Structure formats: C-alpha cells, structure tokens
Structure 1
Amino acid sequence: MTIETLLPVVLFALVATVSPGGATTLATASGAHFGFGRSIPLVMGISAALSSMAAGAAFGLGGLLLAAPPLQLAMKSAGLLYLLWLAVKIGASNAPRLNREIAAPTGFLGGAWMLWYNPKAWAMTTSAAASFAATTHSSVALAVFLGSAFGIAAMLSLSLWCMAGQWLGRALKTDWQWRTINFILAGLLVISVIPMWK
C-alpha cells in the first residue's frame, strides 16, 4: 500500500471518530468524573469494538446485519435502552465522590457494547469497507487495514475527548457546576440516539 491509498482511509477514520456522538460524550463524561487513567478501559473497549466492526464489515458482516430489519430493530432498541440508562446515570450525578463504591467508570465491555449495537456505526464501517475495497487485494488485507485504521483513530480521538473531560472535571468546583455539566452531557448522550432512528 502506498501513502496515496493509506491517507484517505486514515483521514476518514479520524473524522468519523473525532466527531461528536455517543462514544465521544461518554468518553468526555468519564474523563470529567474519573480522570483519563481510570477511563482507559472504556476508551479501549469502544476502540476495540469499532476495530472489530470495521474488520467485520470488510468481511461482509456489516452488510448482513444491515439487511436484516428485525435484527436492526432489536439492536436499536437495546442500544436505546442502554444509552438512556447511561444518560440517566450521568444526569443524576453530582460532583464525583471517588471514595464511594458507586463511583466506577464504564469498563471495557460497557464501551464495546455501546458501539456494537449501533446500526449507524455498522453503516459507517460498511460504507468505509465498500469505499476502500479497491485499495487492497483481499478481504483479509482490507479487514486488517480498516480494523487497524479505525481502532487507532478511535483510541486517539476518544483519548482527546477524555482528556478534555478531565480538564473540565478539574475546572468544575461547585456542585451546581457539576449538576449543570452532567445534565448537558446526559442531554448530548440522549441526542446522540436520534440518528440511530432515522
């Protein structure tokens, strides 16, 4: 592969992963409440899920999932319930009390699950697989290429959002500031569900 074939895929993956959505909102909220270090499992879970979805799309799995309307509806419904539960959890939070047991960040599996159910993410990775199929000589090479590009791009992008959240968490001093930001983050998470139902 040449730089001419690599660059468009890398740029596509970076733009797709850095733009605001459910994953970036969750990474920001986790960074604000728990700091970057404790949020690494969440970032890794989302990144691994996106990487596996991109690789699966290269093998045609994304197309199969998108072609089954009942499966799409089930995925959307499960995803809606999970994201709404996370939004309520974030919105009901006050300033973090890290000495309490309930103050635990979403982990690797929670991050992965948040992405795997999302038909829009499958559509995006399937679109990438279709768009860049001609850049490689086999579906295995395309799967490795797309999986790597999306996984690395997601790690970088989500880390930036998480660090921004950590900075925000350090800037917030009062309970009302935390309630306000938690309410905003919860609202953004709910809004991120809307594109799934279009």
Structure 2
Amino acid sequence: MSPESIMPLIAFAAISTVTPGATTTLATASGAHFGFRRSLPFMIGVAIGLAGMAVAAAAGLAGLLLAMPSLEFAMKLAGSAYLLWLAIRIGRSGRPHLDRSIAKPTSFAGALWIQLQNPKGWAMTLGAAASFGELARGAGELAALLGTVFGVLALLSLMLWCVAGLLLARLLTQAWQWRALNIALALALAASIATMWR
C-alpha cells in the first residue's frame, strides 16, 4: 500500500479524533488542572483503548457488542455514571494546583475504560474497518493499520487538547474565571453523555 492510498484513512481518523467529545473535554480539564506530564497516563490510556477498538473492529469482534444489546446497555450505563461522576468532580473543583500531589488525574485504567465503552469510538473504528478494508490484504494487516493510525492520531489530538487546557491554566488568574471554566467543562462532559444514548 502506498502512502497516498492511506491519506483518506488518516484524514478520517484525524477529523474523528480531534472533534470535541468526552475524552477531549477530559484531556483539556486534565491539562488545566494537572499539567501535561501528569495527564500522559490518561492520554495514553485513551489512545491505546481506541487502537484496541480499531483492531477489534478490523477483526470483527465489535459485532459482538452490537449483537448483545444487554452488554452494550450495561456498558453505556456504567460509562455514563463514570463520566457524570467525573463531570461533577470537574465542576466542583477550583483553581488548579499543578504542584500539589494530593489531586490525581484520571488514571490509565480509567481512561482505557472510558474509551472502551465510548460508542463514538466504536462507530468510527467500525466505519473505518468497513470503508478502508480494501487497503489491506487481510484482517491482520487491516487491524495493524487501523490500530496504528487511530492510536497515533488519538494521542496527538489529546495532546493538543491537553496543551489547550495547560494554556488556560496560565491565562486564567481569578478564582471566578476558574469556576466558570470548570462549570463549562463539566457541562460539556455531561452533554457528551447524551451522544452515548443515540
């Protein structure tokens, strides 16, 4: 496969991963409150989760979730509750304390869980597997291609959102500004839950 032949896949994955959603909102909040370095486990967890979903989609395993509505419902319910808890936590937080070790960002495992129950992630990886299957000679090659492209682009996208949050941490100086930002991020995260139930 030539580099030109995978450009449409790269464009699709870049647009899909950079658009606002639950994980990009969390990356922004994490960057603002914990800084870039402490947010890395979260960003890596989401990227690995999306790469794994792409591999599963290429292998046809994601069809299991679609075939078992009760499993899909349970995952949505648990994911919604977790995201709502995170939204409340963000909304009630104050000015960031980047040097304080008491506060902890979302862990690698938490990020992985958020991503694996994310319907947007399943939709985009299933769509990519169906749309770009002709790029590979088999399921294994397609899985490697999709996993790599989605994993790398998700990580880059989350890094951009995290840096945006870090810049906000440097620009906002008043307590009321932080309160407004935290409430806005919490509302955006809570609103993203609705997309899981479409």
Q: TM-score, normalised by structure 2?
A: 0.96
Relative to structure 1, the CA distance from residue 103 to residue 91 in structure 2 (aligned partners, 3 Å threshold; closer, same or farther) is same
Q: What's 2:26 paired with?
A: 26
- Contact 2:34 2:97 survives alignment (8 Å): no
Q: Tell me which amino acid in the other structure corresponds to 2:35.
A: G
Which amino acid is 1:106 matched to? T
Equivalents in 1 of 2:102, 2:113: separation in Å? Answer: 20
Indicate conservation of the 8 Å contact 2:133/2:142, yes or no: yes
CA contact (8 A) 2:35 2:98 kept: no
Matched, 1:104 2:104: yes
- Which amino acid counterpart does residue 190 of structure 1 have in structure 2? A
Taking the aligned partners of 1:196 and 1:137, their CA distance within structure 2 comes to 33
Cα offset, 1:98, TM superposition: 4.3
Residues 72 and 119, structure 1, Cα contact 8 Å, conserved in 2: no
The yes-or-no answer on 1:75 pairing with 2:75 is yes
- Work out the percentage of aligned pairs sharing the same amino acid: 53
CA distance in 2, matches of 1:97, 1:177: 15
Unaligned runs of 5+ in 1: none
Give the conservation status (yes or no) of the 8 Å contact 1:94–1:179.
Answer: yes
Residue ranges of structure 2 left out of the alignment (5+ in a row): none
Aligned to 2:115: 115
Q: Which string of whole-angstrom CA distances, capped at 9 and with x for unpartnered residues, describes residues 22-58 of structure 1?
A: 0100000000011111111111010000000001110
**Preserved CA contact (<8 Å) 1:27 1:43:** yes
Equivalent pairs counted in the alignment come to: 198
**For residue 89 of structure 1, what is the aligned residue in structure 2?**
89
Q: What is the alpha-carbon distance in structure 1 between the residues aligned to residue 18 and residue 66 of structure 2?
A: 24
Q: Does 1:186 align with 2:186?
A: yes
Q: 1:14 to 1:62 in 2, by over 3 A?
A: same
TM, length-normalised to structure 1: 0.96
* 1:128-143 map, 5 Å: 128-143=128-143
User: Matched residues in 1 for 2:187 and 2:69: separation?
Assistant: 28
